[in-house]
Amino acid sequence: MKFLRNLLAAILGCLIAFGVLFFMFFVFVALLGRGDDTVKVKENSILELSLNQPIRDYEGKDATDPFAGLFEEGEGLDEILHTIAVAKNDDKIKGISMTTSFLQAGLAQTQEIRTALQDFKADGKFIYAHSDFYTQKVYYLTSVADKMYLNPQGAMDFKGLASEVLYYKDLQEKTGIKMEVIRHGKYKSAVEPYLSNTMSEANRSQIKELITSLWNSMLTDISSSRNIDVANLNIIADTLGGRTPKYAVESGLIDGNVYFDEYEGLLREKLAIEEDEKLNYVDFGDYVKVASKKTLKSGVNKIAIIYAQGEIFYGEGSKEIIGQGAINRALDKARDNDNIKAIVLRVNSPGGSALVSDIIWREIELTKKIKPVVVSFGNVAASGGYYIATGADKIFAEPTTITGSIGVFGTIPNINELAADIGVNAEQVGTNKNSIDYSLFEPMTDAFRSQVQEGIEQTYDTFLQRVADGRNMSVEAVDEIAQGRVWSGVDAKELGLVDEIGNLDDAIAAAAEMVDLDTYGIRKYPKYKSDFEKLMEDFGGAKAKVGESFIKEELGEEAFQIVKEVKQLSQQKGVQARMPFTLNIK
């Protein structure tokens, strides 16, 4: 018996050692495969921009880290904008070729990239675009190009925006699993799918107004670039005037139907080189490495950019989640660093925990007593995402930023009906009158619902007061535009919820002006561990990520998003200050 035990232990040890050696060999080969990281940019080069990775505002990659990008999937908006700005000043880069077919970015992020590309062209450089298929978002981005081309057998989507909301009331009744809902705000429709099988008029109204405002912002930009007035663009959308490559050209949406080899011929003509001469392409991902070594802003004095992106949950936080741990520590460091003169908080969040939102709000209140705090809104700054920013000295939003959603709700799962159907009965014993307040297996009592409702109302009143104090409005005025309703950045400015329409660079410039800085450097927070570092600490975390990617691939994007949404709702704890619906713009 002892022999067998020792034999099994030896076999197990060998397997573990073999696994470690195999992993190290894999890392070594991956690094070796990278070879010389030096990127050679030749004269008369074209920067290839495809943007085929998911885009977050901030990836926090360390360009000097040999493992950077080895395990992570994604591109940072900050890196993209910086790289385009560096390319603008690089005499060897004559133009940009855009070959994006599917863009994994939000609308405000897309608008910021578009603005950067517009600036790239300011000094006479060109942008050409070619695609086999233009989605609406990709078309919006690439419409900034001097010339746009579509594969003769390709397709184009230009029909206006739409949003779809799924409802689960019948599913709850059939399964016996339901969500008990307590809310404040007639537009707080994050919980509506659990209460009804149809969309309320209030929700339909706000979604219609929101996506119309976003669409109008897109059309304004497209109109300017393509020289087609907005009214005609709407006619093209209504009549599907770009549904075939031929119609897309006739309507003026694109400039021609060409295959990619023909497109490259047009690039050669633009560069005035021979037909058989090779084009000097520079991959955008490679050029990021060149750009990372060049500083556009420098100086002893600094402006800190603190990125708050993702849903808001209690805890440390990460690149995907806003937690009070990482954000408040970043605020504290920026506040205590004498070289940092002002702070820009970049917010991209649909909200989440009301408690965490208030904890971060408080830290910003402490910070702005010492240094100015300017906020830049990204794709969305709704509910808790708006809450944390409302006290800032100044707030910027993109025209397409989804803003506001001042309202709160609570959801509590209940499986009483399912338990009864499968023969499960739960009995409780307590020491005091209220020691047993709620059971997953029993119907919610009126007393407990009243208790939760009291907490919801208190949080809502606090939310209103925070906004009223921060925006110099009366509580009554805030309540009138609150009720959980969301607005576009344009509408939010008219209502006084934001100060200026502008991007992150505009917010940084405003922060510099507040402290009279002409020259300054940038320092970014928080600092997160790379996926490789987390892998070394916890193999389970890495497996979870691989598992998620596998599930996404097997289910498809839309089905995966439904599963993810239901999972997130089931994980919500406490009162929520969250965007009133999941906006899936099509």
Beta bridge partners of 375: 345, 395
Lowest mean pLDDT across 23-27, 216-220, 293-297: 23-27
In 199-310, alpha helices (H):
201-226, 230-238, 245-250, 260-271, 284-292
Active site residue: 61, 88, 94, 188, which one? 188
pLDDT band per the 50, 70, 90 thresholds, residue 550: very low
Instruction: For 201-213, write each residue's pLDDT tens digit.
Output: 888 988 999 999 9
What is the pLDDT at residue 300?
Answer: 95
Is the pLDDT at 232 greater than 70? The verdict is yes
Q: Which residue has the higher pLDDT, 545 or 483?
A: 483
What is the pLDDT at residue 484?
Answer: 81
CA atoms in the 13 A half-sphere facing the CB of 105: 34
What integer best gives the mean pLDDT of the chain?
86
> Residue 445's closest CA among 457, 458, 428?
428
Q: Which residue has the higher pLDDT, 378 or 37?
A: 378
Beta strands in 146-203 (DSSP E): 147-156, 178-184
What is the pLDDT at residue 517?
Answer: 96
pLDDT band per the 50, 70, 90 thresholds, residue 123: confident
In 68-124, alpha helices (H):
77-88, 107-120
What is the pLDDT at residue 213?
Answer: 96
Q: Output helix, strand, coil percentages for the chain, rounded to the nearest 5.
A: 45, 20, 35
What is the pLDDT at residue 14?
Answer: 61
Q: Which residue has the higher pLDDT, 496 or 586?
A: 496
What is the pLDDT at residue 575?
Answer: 65
Lowest mean pLDDT across 42-56, 419-433, 523-537: 523-537
Active site residue: 225, 383, 405, 530, which one? 383
Is the pLDDT at 138 greater than 70? The verdict is yes
Give the whole-number percent of the chain exceeding pLDDT 90.
Answer: 61
What is the pLDDT at residue 503?
Answer: 96
Instruction: For 66-76, write each residue's pLDDT tens digit.
Output: 555 555 567 89
Q: Which residue has the higher pLDDT, 10 or 472?
A: 472
What is the pLDDT at residue 536?
Answer: 54
Is the pLDDT at 546 greater than 60? The verdict is no
The residue-averaged pLDDT of 551-564 equals: 50
- Residue 130's H or E segment, with its range, is strand 126-134
pLDDT band per the 50, 70, 90 thresholds, residue 17: low
The residue-averaged pLDDT of 271-287 equals: 93
> Residue 77's closest CA among 54, 95, 99, 93?
54
Q: What pTM was computed for the model?
A: 0.84
pLDDT band per the 50, 70, 90 thresholds, residue 18: low
527 is a catalytic site residue: no
Instruction: For 419-477, write each residue's pLDDT tens digit.
Output: 888 998 988 898 988 888 888 898 888 888 888 889 899 999 999 999 999 999 999 99
What is the pLDDT at residue 317?
Answer: 92
Dihedral angle computed from the Cα positions of residues 398, 399, 400 and 402, in that order, rounded to the nearest 10 degrees: 80
> Residue 459's closest CA among 410, 411, 497, 408?
408
Q: Which domains does the chain have, with CATH numbers?
A: 45-159+240-292 (3.90.226.10), 302-530 (3.90.226.10)
474 is a catalytic site residue: no
Q: Which residue has the higher pLDDT, 33 or 229?
A: 229
One-letter amino acid for residue 27 of the chain:
V
What is the pLDDT at residue 22?
Answer: 53
pLDDT band per the 50, 70, 90 thresholds, residue 579: low
What is the pLDDT at residue 68?
Answer: 53
How would you write 320-354 as a 3-class SS string? CEECHHHHHHHHHHHHHCCCEEEEEEEEEECEEEH
CB-based burial label for 371 (10 Å; 0-12, 13-18, 19+): buried
Backbone φ and ψ for 88, nearest 5 degrees, come out as -60, -35
Instruction: For 375-392, write each residue's pLDDT tens digit.
Output: 999 999 999 999 999 999
